[in-house]
Structure 1
Amino acid sequence: MVTRDDIESFLDRLATEGTAYQEVEPGLWIIHPGGVIDFDVVCHYNPPVVVLRVKVMDLPADDNACNGLARRLLQLNASDLVHGSYGIEQEAVVLTEALELSHLDYEEFLAAYESMTLALTSHLRELATYREAR
């Protein structure tokens, strides 16, 4: 099984690609992708999984906009996301990915991380239209 130290070594490898991270408590890191993405990715080592999560935006206050956003997020889950998914937590849209530790390797971790950052890059402009409805 992948350990907390293994996850930290995965993060060290990401850092060689220009990503920064900091551990805010044992087993909980904030990853700063850099570049055009101005979002932090939270990485939580929580056996038997490691969870990657990004807060994308607050929900719009307008009910019609919120309904349209929820529908569009479901469509994106079905068509554009391979592993992770958009969801709603409290009053925010989040993008989440959970990876099983029992067989996780760096390549799978990297693929999940890159899938999330790519989704954010490609979906952000469209999702921003719902943010403006707030």
Structure 2
Amino acid sequence: MVTREDIEAFLDRLSADGASHQELEPGLWLVRPSGALEFDVVVTHNPPVVLLRVKVMPLPAEASDQAALNRRLLELNASDLLHGSYGIDQENVVLTEALELAHLDFEEFLASYESMTLSLTSHLRELAAFREAR
């Protein structure tokens, strides 16, 4: 099973591509992707899984905007996301992914991380309209 130290090593390898990370507490990291991306990925080592999570945006205030956003997020879950999914936590839209630690290797971790960051990057322009509705 992949340990906390293994996840730290995975994150160190991401740093070679320009990402930065800091451990906020044992088993909880804040990862800043490289480039002009303005979001952080929270990585949590929580056996038997590792969780990757991004706070995307607050929910719009208007119920009609929330309904339209919820529909679009479900469509994106079905069409654009391989492993992760959009969800709602309290009053925020989040993108999450969970990976089993039992047989996790760096390539699977990297694929999930890149899938999340690339998907979110391509979705942010469309979701910006809902941010402005807030």
- Please state which band the TM-score falls in when normalised by the shorter chain: over 0.9
Aligned-partner Cα distance in 2 for 1:130–1:38: 17
Aligned to 2:56: 56
Asked whether the equivalents of residues 42 and 54 of structure 1 are also in contact (C-alpha less than 8 Å), the reply is yes
Q: Which amino acid aligns with 1:12?
A: D
**Aligned with 2:125: secondary structure?**
helix
The normalised TM-score by structure 2 is 0.99
Alignment-mate amino acid for residue 28 of structure 2: L
State the distance in 2 between where 1:120 and 1:86 align.
Answer: 10
Structure 2 distance, partners of 1:13, 1:24, is 18
1:78-131 Cα offsets, whole Å, 9 max, x none, are 000000000000000000000000010000000000001001110000001011
Equivalent position SS for 1:11:
helix
4+ residue runs of structure 1 moved beyond 4 angstroms? none
| Inter-partner Cα distance in structure 2 for 1:8 and 1:121 | 24
Normalising by structure 1, report the TM-score: 0.99
2:15 equivalent in structure 1: 15
Q: Which residue of 2 aligns with 1:118?
A: 118
Matched pairs, number = 134
Question: Contact 1:37–1:120 at 8 Å: present in 2 too?
Answer: no
Q: Which structure 2 segments of 5+ residues have no match?
A: none
Identity %: 71
Structure 2 SS opposite 1:5:
helix
Secondary structure in 2 aligned to 1:104?
coil
Q: Secondary structure at the match of 1:7?
A: helix
Q: Which moved more, 1:33-42 or 1:22-31?
A: 33-42
- Report the equivalent of 1:94: 94
**Counterpart in the other structure of 1:127:** 127
SS at match of 1:74: helix
